[in-house]
Amino acid sequence: MKRLSLTLSLLLTACMQVFAQYTATTTWPYAYEDFQDGVILMIHGSEKSGQYNVNLVDKKLHFIEGNYVKVANMADLLSVKIGKDIYQNVGGELYKVLAKSDKSLVVEDNEIDFAALNETGGAYGSSSTTLGTTALSSLEGIGGSNSSKNINHMELKLNKENGKSLSFITKKYMFVNGNKIYASKRDFMNAPGLDKEAAKIFLKTQKIKWNNPQDILMAGDFLSDYVK
């Protein structure tokens, strides 16, 4: 009986965790449910602690200053650690690091599925076009052309549940000597400067799985000798 009770308790806990899973919305388009303690590594080597979150619209770092949400100066930022996650600044955008070596970097990019955002079905008498346009407008107010404006943190939090849930298209990339290369066999073989015969031997030997970050890192390290 005790064993059955324990099993039911574990199942209930698992179900609660699933239902409590965080989902970004058009009114709260962030990587995390709230701003979290983190550390920025600046380009000149210094560090700065604060409350941070990653905006999934423009892939920029937002931070809390007083009662307001502000946008970090990406030109000064090398990387940021938020909790256990590390994000690398590549070309002014933050990408979550999945694997890293001295030669290459494997990152994850979560692109907002704007097509899914517009497929609303016209609930409550509104057309799908109207609802989709409203959703896109709310995104722009937080992470688009108006992202440089200060936004009240508490006001933003109070409205986080009022937006539409966001879905994402997840992609993995290799960054090699400044080149962004999609993690696939086709893009690997089409990398600029690559010795294709050597690449074929490498792939045959290593049997790279393109959904495995460590395998992708091996491919990125291999490319580093050719892609400049």
Whether 121 is in a domain gets the answer no
pLDDT for 158 equals: 82
Half-sphere exposure of residue 46: CA atoms within 13 angstroms, side-chain side: 3
Q: How many domains does the chain have?
A: 1
Which range marks the domain in which residue 187 is found?
101-113+166-228
Token pair, residue 39, equals 């550390």
Comparing 69 with 106, which gets the higher pLDDT? 106
Whether 129 is in a domain gets the answer no
- The residue type of 171 is K
Distance CA 156, CA 179 (A): 36
Residue 141's pLDDT band, with cuts at 50, 70 and 90, is: low
Whether 20 is in a domain gets the answer no
Q: Mean pLDDT in the chain?
A: 83
Dihedral class, residue 172 (left if φ above 0, else alpha if ψ from -120 to 50, else beta): beta
Distance CA 21, CA 16 (A): 9
What does pTM read for this prediction?
0.80
